[in-house]
């Protein structure tokens, strides 16, 4: 088996990845990235010696547009899309998905995400937690991992786990940051997912933002620590009655300090920001605190 990392070059290198996995009888794709980088994806697949139509199946960890925004291109070629059962209806009819994204990205929608078309249900396979499928000679197991989204899977192939966003953001070996966008972030569910990943003892994890890491347990510990720390930090501000607009600049400053102190170079900082806009993380965490912790 061979795992190829494809850099989709989402406005900057090393922000958004997808993975082409080959095992002899036609490759599979993990994540598609957004529609806006579809030409880059096509070029990369061709560069690896394949035509788009050679792809035997597409697995998306969740339906956020930076992960599955280009899935409709593959479905329109008759290629099956594997997705969490709660995500499946929203790629068949993306109305609610797009409305939710527009609330966050407003007039930046088109620029960031391009076009998103409905996918015919016949090309969507809702893969359940613990289910194993064999595609292109590759056995893929879905591991439901909620907390970042309410419809997220990690995919286990042999000893490699593709952890989507539940495994955090880490670029060029820098600090591990938790991506916490609205509307589904739930800290306890996320911690449960991290326990689930640890239990499977993957030897290698592949992040969608960005790349391959072998120090799995150290990585997950750092993610857990920061997830709890950031959540508690935002929770305190919410309790003090602060509004998002007041919290955002302080939070963004804190994220930048973490990267700076770790010696992350400016171009990598830019990749972190494209992978996981820090201001957006505040919106997810304040929503979580208001809805689940303080019941405001």
Phi, psi of 155 (to 5 degrees): -120, 130
- Would you tell me how many other CB atoms lie within 10 Å of the CB of residue 107? 7
Q: Which lies closer to Zn ion via its Cβ, residue 141 or residue 165?
A: 165
Among 22, 31, 66, 273, binds Zn ion (CB under 5 A): 66
Stretch that binds Zn ion, among 21-29, 49-57, 117-125, 160-168 (CB under 5 A): 160-168
Q: Which lies closer to Zn ion via its Cβ, residue 18 or residue 238?
A: 18
Report, in Å, the least distance between residue 112 CB and Zn ion: 12
Stretch that binds Zn ion, among 18-26, 64-72, 182-190, 226-234 (CB under 5 A): 64-72
Q: Which lies closer to Zn ion via its Cβ, residue 7 or residue 66?
A: 66
**With 0-12 CB in 10 A as exposed, 13-18 as middle and 19+ as buried, what is 169?**
buried
Dist CA 64 CA 176 (whole Å): 20
Q: Which lies closer to Zn ion via its Cβ, residue 7 or residue 165?
A: 165
Q: Does residue 165 contact residue 180 with C-beta atoms inside 8 Å?
A: no
Q: How far is CA 92 from the centre of its chain?
A: 19
Number of residues that bind Zn ion (CB under 5 A): 2
Stretch that binds Zn ion, among 82-90, 165-173, 219-227, 259-267 (CB under 5 A): 165-173
Report, in Å, the least distance between residue 209 CB and Zn ion: 6
Report, in Å, the least distance between residue 66 CB and Zn ion: 4
Q: Does residue 36 contact residue 16 with C-beta atoms inside 8 Å?
A: no
Report, in Å, the least distance between residue 61 CB and Zn ion: 8
Q: Does residue 234 contact residue 190 with C-beta atoms inside 8 Å?
A: no
Stretch that binds Zn ion, among 18-26, 58-66, 193-201, 232-240 (CB under 5 A): 58-66
Report, in Å, the least distance between residue 212 CB and Zn ion: 17
What string of DSSP letters covers 175-222?
--B----TTT--HHHHHHHHHHHHHH--SEEEETTTEEES-HHHHHHH
- Say whether residue 273 binds Zn ion (CB under 5 A): no
- Would you tell me how many other CB atoms lie within 10 Å of the CB of residue 252? 16
What count of residues does the chain have?
Answer: 296
Report, in Å, the least distance between residue 43 CB and Zn ion: 21
Dist CA 235 CA 228 (whole Å): 10
Report, in Å, the least distance between residue 37 CB and Zn ion: 13
Q: Which lies closer to Zn ion via its Cβ, residue 22 or residue 66?
A: 66
Q: Which lies closer to Zn ion via its Cβ, residue 66 or residue 224?
A: 66
Q: Answer positive or negative: Cα dihedral of 69, 126, 50, 160.
A: positive
Stretch that binds Zn ion, among 31-39, 65-73, 86-94, 139-147 (CB under 5 A): 65-73
Dist CA 172 CA 72 (whole Å): 30
Q: Does residue 194 contact residue 220 with C-beta atoms inside 8 Å?
A: yes
Q: Which lies closer to Zn ion via its Cβ, residue 112 or residue 138?
A: 112
Among 22, 35, 165, 224, binds Zn ion (CB under 5 A): 165
Report, in Å, the least distance between residue 75 CB and Zn ion: 20
Q: Which lies closer to Zn ion via its Cβ, residue 101 or residue 238?
A: 101
Contacts to Zn ion by CB under 5 A: 66, 165
């Amino acid at each position: 088996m061979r795992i190829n990392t494809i850099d989709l070059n989402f406005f900057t290198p090393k922000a958004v990845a997808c993975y082409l996995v080959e095992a002899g009888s036609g490759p599979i794709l993990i994540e598609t990235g957004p529609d806006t980088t579809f030409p880059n994806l096509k070029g990369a697949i061709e560069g690896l010696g394949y035509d788009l139509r050679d792809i035997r199946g597409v697995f998306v960890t969740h339906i956020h547009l930076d992960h599955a925004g280009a899935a409709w291109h593959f479905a329109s070629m008759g290629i099956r899309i594997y997705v969490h059962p709660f995500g499946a209806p929203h790629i068949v009819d993306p109305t609610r998905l797009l409305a939710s994204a527009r609330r966050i990205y407003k007039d930046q929608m088109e620029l960031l995400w391009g076009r998103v078309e409905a996918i015919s249900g016949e090309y969507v396979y809702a893969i359940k937690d613990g289910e194993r499928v064999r595609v292109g000679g590759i056995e893929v197991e879905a591991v439901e991992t909620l907390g970042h989204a309410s419809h997220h899977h990690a995919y286990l192939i042999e000893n490699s786990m593709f952890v989507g966003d539940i495994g955090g953001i880490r670029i060029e070996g820098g600090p591990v940051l938790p991506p916490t966008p609205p509307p589904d972030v739930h800290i306890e569910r996320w911690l449960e997912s991290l326990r689930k990943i640890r239990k499977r003892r993957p030897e290698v994890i592949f992040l969608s933002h960005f790349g391959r890491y072998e120090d799995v347990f150290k990585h997950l510990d750092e993610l857990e620590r920061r997830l709890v720390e950031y959540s508690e930090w935002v929770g305190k501000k919410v309790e003090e009655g602060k509004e998002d607009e007041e919290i955002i600049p302080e939070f963004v400053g804190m994220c930048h300090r973490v990267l700076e102190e770790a010696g992350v170079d400016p171009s990598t900082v830019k990749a972190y920001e494209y992978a996981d806009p820090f201001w957006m993380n505040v919106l997810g965490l304040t929503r979580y605190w208001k809805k689940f912790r303080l019941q405001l």
